[in-house]
Chain A
Amino acid sequence: MKPKVAFFDFAGCEGDQLQVANLEEEILALLGHVEVVNFREVMKEQSDNYDIAFVEGSCTRLQDEDRLKQIRKNAKIVVAIGACATIGGINSLKNYQDLDDVRRTVYGDKAQLFDTYAARPIDAVIPVDAYVHGCPIDRDEFLNVVKSLLLGKKPEIPNYPVCVECKKNENVCAFERGEFCIGPVTRAGCNSCCVNEGTKCWGCRGLVDNPNENSQKEVLIKYGLTVDDAIKKFRLYFGWQERKK
């Protein structure tokens, strides 16, 4: 029997599910292996009977924890997809601000009606079995993770920084082009896609397991960034990971 697959979203832009919906030919091949029972972006039907749950978005309210826990209970495998779900993502920027101010900025005089707490990745709430990093996720990596899960193997997510892929792709280093790049501490697996296109790495895949952050900050400062800006560079995506330390 084909494993049943469901997609869920929390605080996020749904851009990761859009990447899945945009898989085109591959999605047909994929549907030969799985049955999709929940996917708000492409279908109306819903079901609580599923084996693999893909969860997008970060958890930003206490109430959302119950829903996440229910998903965990229903699913055999929970996969976090996209930076918000895997590392807290840019939602975690608000963790560095006064949360009441944040509510007022977003909801104005209705602020009292809406709860909020520090944004966090879903593994801060429930155990997660696999990750598809990125903002948005890379379609090929999504397929690789799904293939691994279907073959019963642990998806191979690199624990080396983006520099490895940049070097293999023979990119001119972003620093040489006057950019401030966070790739030397960011987990690879994106095939250095942003640098390939001539920009820099923003850190959307989160930190490697054992990053040398001090050295990376020194490098940023050596190339002309202020200390404040270097810290901001780290916060854009690493906000939750930084706080946790």
Chain B
Amino acid sequence: MRVISKEDFDSFVNSIINDDSLNVIGVKSKGDKFAFGTLESANDLRLDYDVTLLPPKKYFFPQRETLVTYDVATGFVAKDPADLKPTVLLGVHPYDIAALLQMDEIFRDTKSDPYYFEKRKSSIIIGLNIQNMSERCFAPLMGCATIENGYDLMLTDLGNRYAINIGSRKGEELLEKHAKNVKAALARDVQLVGQKKQEIMNMSQQEFDFPTELIPEMLSKTYDQNGFWKEHSEKCLACGSCVLVCPTCYCFDIKDDPNLSLKEGKRIRTWDGCLLEDFAKIASGENFRPTRPTRYRHRYFKKGKYLFDRFGFVSCVGCGRCSSNCLPDIANPVDLFNDMYSEVLDMGLEIDATAAPEVSIKTEGDINYVPKLATIVKKTPMTDIETLFEIKLDDGSILNQMPGQFVQVSVLGVGEAPISVSSSPTQKGMFQICVRKIGSVTTGLHRLNEGDKIGIRGPFGNGFDPEALKGKDLLFVAAGLGIAPLRSLLNYVLDNRAEYGRVIVLYGCKEPREQLFGDELVALEKRDDVEFKNTVDWCPENEVWEGNIGVITTLIPQINFDPEDTYAIVVGPPIVYKFVIADLKKRNMPDDHIIVSLERRMKCGVGKCGHCQINHIYVCKDGPVFNYSDIKGVPEAL
């Protein structure tokens, strides 16, 4: 530990401000509040602050950030590297340092986010032990009021001087280069710092009625208490303030921003929030978390349970920003968890702290947001609103996808949308996507012609596992556009026909003219190694249909299968799963013999942006293909 007089500290601050190789950020006043901002003089620094409006994550994960630039003539390019001057953050409270450490884990999980880390890695964090605590701060309860790592230097105000803990060589060098009269701390200083930290632990005006460790388990017990969630969220404005000011929230949206030439533009990411109404809404209009109570609950579960299970930490550092920014005052986690504790007691439940989960976060390379340029080589209209596109990657590479995986398709200037690959990997040299004209990107895609360029990222997701299905009887059940992803596996199986048992295909759509892949269905019907049945929900008077009329489930009684030897692969709109699965269960099909593929909103494709999340599962990364036995207990799944 070192000490420096306040006078010499100001000189140190002014010296780093004058160092052109550094970008110095500090806490300044903003109205009656405080905010991190570019520091122009040590005089502007307000180390007596209680809490800043926004946490310092904005310097590493900004509100608006260019990921990719594009030019219709040349395609997509990663944006120029940021101004990589190291950012010095001066005066960061321990809870915000704790939050950054959590963000580091989240952004390096599975795929590392290069945009975050290019800025984060070069940063220098000068922490500050809390001098004034905001009224709603409960950092002591979350164990984040003081911190022993995650900083390069840590300041403690000792009246006429600061004590400085050295956290890294980088911090020490900064001090050596810019500070004068830094002295070794005396035993008295060390003792005073200890005393200050002790005082900080008692500064909070907030109190839990229960041990903090109970949070994940309390949540587990109250998921289904709909009345509880409804009551607590009744006044929710769905304004997103609680999540937007949160130092550990990281959900984002990605959109295209064309410039006025209409030929060039940027793809940007912006902060998003799971409390906002359209967060989980997809192009067809389906909203997978449409009500305030479900969104409100999701926020607490994400922070207190899902992230805990994955990373081993409750993703809340107790800064109190959500609480103080909520106008109806329903976002104070302390109040909510205290109420939840009473609820659990009222339910007559005894709870113990959850055992620490096994954490193994691995990083396998960087996320690549830059799409590959590709060409539409063939465009085959299938119905009024669906078209089959055959696509080749311009660099000559192959997509190398598994059946059931999806790609992110970019229409230049319009945006990016997730679309399942419809062709089997056995089909070499190109791949196909069957696209319904429904949102901006898919409508834009339909306007394009053969020879036109698009962008492709992926493949993403897990896909079906054709190896595991070898030797089994397969029952394919497709409803509507569900045939598109299903076809990738069906064609794979047909191309390796000898390796599989019976192949039964059931296909249903609303009316005859909506039938997809008509020629292929005729061919299927003619094969003697495939049992094929199709149906329409209804047949308008002016159309001809000689087959079955009725919803897809009316086909199930028409077939025989041995539930022990048969695997069902079911893909369709959300409503279909419920009924098809129920009927398969009636025929004694074991849960783990049912495989489904789910649709959700997906922006990043790599389990970061948050949109596709169903409870703890990221559909884009853990799915879209799921074994029913793995998700039947997941409330938001089906």
A binds B: yes
Among the listed B276, B327, B414, which residue makes an inter-chain contact with A184, where contact means beta carbons less than 8 Å apart? Answer: B327
Among the listed B31, B237, B278, which residue makes an inter-chain contact with A172, where contact means beta carbons less than 8 Å apart? Answer: B31
Q: Are B63 and A168 in contact (CB under 8 A)?
A: yes
Our count of residue pairs bridging A and B at CB distance below 8 angstroms stands at 112
Q: Are B237 and A151 in contact (CB under 8 A)?
A: no
Bound complex: CA of A150 vs CA of B325, how far in Å?
Answer: 39
Bound complex: CA of A93 vs CA of B238, how far in Å?
Answer: 27
Q: Main secondary structure on chain B at its contact with chain A?
A: loop
Among the listed A156, A167, A211, which residue makes an inter-chain contact with B245, where contact means beta carbons less than 8 Å apart? Answer: A167
Among the listed A164, A209, A219, which residue makes an inter-chain contact with B328, where contact means beta carbons less than 8 Å apart? Answer: A219
Among the listed B32, B261, B440, which residue makes an inter-chain contact with A176, where contact means beta carbons less than 8 Å apart? Answer: B32
Given contacts A170-B54, A208-B277, A212-B235, contact A152 B327 (CB under 8 A): no
Closest to A183 in B: B239
Q: Are B262 and A168 in contact (CB under 8 A)?
A: no
Q: Which chain A positions have C-beta within 8 A of B238?
A: 160-161, 208, 210, 212
Among the listed A153, A184, A216, which residue makes an inter-chain contact with B415, where contact means beta carbons less than 8 Å apart? Answer: A153
User: Cβ of A2 < 8 Å from any Cβ of B?
Assistant: no
Report the interface size for chain B: residues with CB under 8 A from the other chain.
43
Q: Are B325 and A167 in contact (CB under 8 A)?
A: yes
Q: Are A168 and B258 in contact (CB under 8 A)?
A: no
Q: Are B239 and A184 in contact (CB under 8 A)?
A: yes
User: Cβ of A111 < 8 Å from any Cβ of B?
Assistant: no
User: Cβ of B413 < 8 Å from any Cβ of A?
Assistant: yes
Q: How far is the CB of B506 from chain A (nearest CB, A)?
A: 35
0/1 per residue, B5-47, Cβ < 8 Å to A? 0000000000000000000000000111101000000000000
Q: List the one stretch of A26-34, A63-71, A102-110, A226-234 in contact with chain B.
A: A26-34
Q: Are B278 and A152 in contact (CB under 8 A)?
A: no
Q: Which chain A positions have C-beta within 8 A of B276?
A: 160, 164
User: Cβ of A215 < 8 Å from any Cβ of B?
Assistant: yes
Among the listed A29, A151, A154, A159, which residue makes an inter-chain contact with B278, where contact means beta carbons less than 8 Å apart? Answer: A159
User: Cβ of A173 < 8 Å from any Cβ of B?
Assistant: yes
Bound complex: CA of A99 vs CA of B277, how far in Å?
Answer: 38
Q: Which chain A positions have C-beta within 8 A of B328?
A: 215, 218-219
Bound complex: CA of A204 vs CA of B414, how far in Å?
Answer: 28
Q: Are B30 and A150 in contact (CB under 8 A)?
A: no
Report the interface size for chain A: residues with CB under 8 A from the other chain.
40
Given contacts A160-B239, A167-B244, contact A172 B30 (CB under 8 A): yes
Bound complex: CA of A49 vs CA of B244, how far in Å?
Answer: 47
Which residues 13-62 of A sit at the B interface, judged by CB distance below 8 A? 26, 29-30, 33
Given contacts A159-B278, A215-B328, contact A172 B53 (CB under 8 A): yes
Given contacts A161-B237, A168-B271, contact A153 B440 (CB under 8 A): yes
Q: Which chain B positions have C-beta within 8 A of A245?
A: none
Q: Which chain B positions have C-beta within 8 A of A175?
A: 327
Q: Which chain A positions have C-beta within 8 A of B245?
A: 167
Bound complex: CA of A65 vs CA of B447, how far in Å?
Answer: 34
0/1 per residue, A127-165, Cβ < 8 Å to B? 000000000000000010001001111101001110110
Q: How far is the CB of B341 from chain A (nearest CB, A)?
A: 25
Among the listed B33, B54, B262, B443, which residue makes an inter-chain contact with A167, where contact means beta carbons less than 8 Å apart? Answer: B54
Q: Which chain B positions have C-beta within 8 A of A151?
A: 258, 262, 413-414, 444
User: Cβ of B255 < 8 Å from any Cβ of A?
Assistant: yes
Q: Which chain B positions have C-beta within 8 A of A161?
A: 237-240
Bound complex: CA of A183 vs CA of B327, how far in Å?
Answer: 11
Q: Which chain A positions have C-beta within 8 A of B235?
A: 212, 214-215, 218
Q: List 8 A-B pairs, minimum CB-CB distance, nearest first.
A: A163-B239, A167-B244, A153-B440, A29-B260, A215-B235, A172-B31, A168-B63, A184-B237
Pairs A–B under 8 Å by Cβ, sample size 22: A29-B260, A152-B447, A153-B414, A153-B443, A154-B439, A160-B276, A161-B237, A163-B244, A164-B241, A167-B54, A168-B244, A173-B325, A177-B31, A184-B237, A184-B327, A209-B277, A210-B277, A212-B292, A215-B235, A215-B237, A218-B235, A218-B328
Other 12 A-B pairs with CB < 8 A, given A168-B270, A176-B32 = A150-B262, A151-B444, A152-B443, A153-B444, A160-B239, A163-B240, A172-B53, A177-B31, A177-B32, A210-B277, A211-B237, A215-B237
